[in-house]
Structures are given as C-alpha cells and as structure tokens.
Amino acid sequence: MFIIEGLSKTYSGGVTALEEINLEMLKPQVVMIIGSSGAGKSTLIRCINRLIEPTTGSVKLNDQEITTLGKSGLRKARRQMGMIFQEYNLVDRLTVMENVLSGRLGYVSFWTAYRRKYSPEDVSAAYELLDRVGLMDNCNSRADALSGGQRQRVGIARALMQRPKLLLVDEPTASLDPKTSRQIMRLIVELAEERGTPALINIHDVELARSFADRIIGLAGGRVAFDGTAEEVSDQVLTEIYGEEDWSATIKRDAHDPNGDNDNLLSRIDKESSAG
C-alpha cells in the first residue's frame, strides 16, 4: 500500500541527504524512524509529500506514483497524507476550530475557506476529533493561547481531519516534556490504529520509539541502517545507527519499563494476532 523505491535527495549545495532509500509497508503499521540529527529523517518525510522535491526515486501510495505528479495532481495526493510537525505549525492567530478545519482546505473552494463555511459533515467531524483529543472546551480559543501539548493535539486533529491514507509525523514530541511526550505519542499511535492509517514517525527518543513502534527503521548518513521490530534493536544496532556509545542504559531501562507502556504494545500485538 505504501512503497518507496530508490529515493535519493541531493540538495543544490551538493549535500546528499538521502541515498537509495527503500521502504515497503504492506499493511497499516506504526513505523518509527530513528537516527541522529542530519541523518535525513525530516528530508525523508518531506520527500514523500514533496514539501521537498526528491532528486530520484519513486514513492507510491495505494498504487499512485507521487513523484511524477503535476501541480493539481500533487495537491490531490497531499490531501491523502496528513502531516504532524515538531513545532505544531498551527496558525497562531486563528482559533482551534479554524486550525482543525484547515485540514479540509484541499477539498473546499477559496470562498468556502474565506467565509469559513465548511460543510455540516466537516464541522461535525471536527467536533468529534476535538472531543477525541480532549479539546472540546477549547474549540473557540486562539491557538496561541494553548500549551505545547494542547497545540500538538490540535495539530493531530488537523492532520486527521484530512481522513488521510498515510500519516507523516515529524518529531512530534521533541518540543514537549517527557510525560506529555508519552501522552502525545500514545494518542497518535492509538488514532492511527483506530483508523487503520499507516504512520511514519520520525523520533529522537529511542525508548519512546521502542515502546510504541510496530517497526523501527534506523537511518544513518541518509541510508537505511536498520529495519526491524522494537525487540531487535540492540546495542549493536544502535551503534550502527548513531555511532559508538554505551547503550546499556537505554536498552536496560526499556526492558522493564516502569510506566508499563510495553503492555500497550504487547496487547496490541495480541490483538493483531487474534484478529489475523
């Protein structure tokens, strides 16, 4: 359903950010992409919806080739890809509701957007999402009046407002405290699963990745250095991705997670195997 083949990106300065990336997702999965800063995580995510134009390679979402699309084709393709950002990227001076409804912009006319006259279905879907992310009471607040965690919830609601076929998530928790980070990550993963939406999530925090991922991909120097399950991430794998370091603490702490988030992962695996 989602296939990347031989994707490369060389910036005009001659810096190669991505080299021959291959990635295949045949069923809805939560895929976490880890790797050090500059490994190409953000570039990879943005090459998929072409906020950054890839140099070569192919990206296919549900059998549609994205990289060769023209302007209007690309806009239609972007409607199917919801994106969540590190800095939330809300329009500060608009209300929470306006921000969430902006997820429908690809489907409405200029004048509909100007008059903020979205269809009853869209408005009702927006209320439902706001209720789901716990911001029902804030729907008329201005986005800049919210806390970081709340702002990211608005960002999540906006992305899901698109009813996406793929979620692109770029460092969703890097600007949040550890507790809020877990809550936000749990929310994203739960919503992706509820709706059967595959998600590609960039993340710095290896522990967080391991506790929520169906699959982990490690990028190093613009190449895929690891592709496997959370359990397969070992000292050696982390060294391959990030370089030499004492990883014992990172791995050990996760093995008996005090917050019990692993239960969540295990129960999900159970659910999947019983369903399949």
Of 15, 1, 42, the C-alpha closest to 219 is 42
Q: How many residues does the chain have?
A: 276
* Contacts with another protein, 113-152, as mask; x by CB under 8 A: xx--------------------------------------
- From the number of C-beta atoms within 10 Å of its C-beta (0-12, 13-18, 19+), residue 215 rates as middle
**Binding residue count for another protein, defined by CB under 8 A:** 32
44: phi then psi, degrees, rounded to nearest 5: -60, -50
Q: Pick the closer one to another protein by CB: 104 or 182.
A: 104
Tokens representing 18?
Answer: 């991505």
- Indicate which single residue of 7, 81, 156, 208 sits in contact with another protein (rule: CB under 8 A): 81
Stretch that binds another protein, among 53-61, 154-162, 177-185, 243-251 (CB under 8 A): 154-162
Please tell me the distance from the alpha carbon of residue 237 to that of residue 146, in angstroms, as a whole number: 39
Q: Pick the closer one to another protein by CB: 3 or 113.
A: 113
Stretch that binds another protein, among 95-103, 129-137, 218-226, 255-263 (CB under 8 A): 95-103
Q: Pick the closer one to another protein by CB: 107 or 247.
A: 107
- From the number of C-beta atoms within 10 Å of its C-beta (0-12, 13-18, 19+), residue 208 rates as buried
The answer to whether 162 contacts another protein (rule: CB under 8 A) is yes
The answer to whether 173 contacts another protein (rule: CB under 8 A) is no
Number of H helices, E strands in the chain: 11, 10
Please tell me the distance from the alpha carbon of residue 121 to that of residue 119, in angstroms, as a whole number: 5
The answer to whether 75 contacts another protein (rule: CB under 8 A) is yes
The answer to whether 106 contacts another protein (rule: CB under 8 A) is yes
56 DSSP β-pair partners? 8
Please tell me the distance from the alpha carbon of residue 7 to that of residue 10, in angstroms, as a whole number: 10
* Contacts with another protein, 194-233, as mask; x by CB under 8 A: ----------------------------------------
Q: How far is the CB of 76 from another protein (least distance, A)?
A: 7
The site for another protein (CB under 8 A) is made up of 49, 51, 75-79, 81, 83, 85, 87-94, 98, 102-107, 110, 113-114, 155, 158, 162, 168
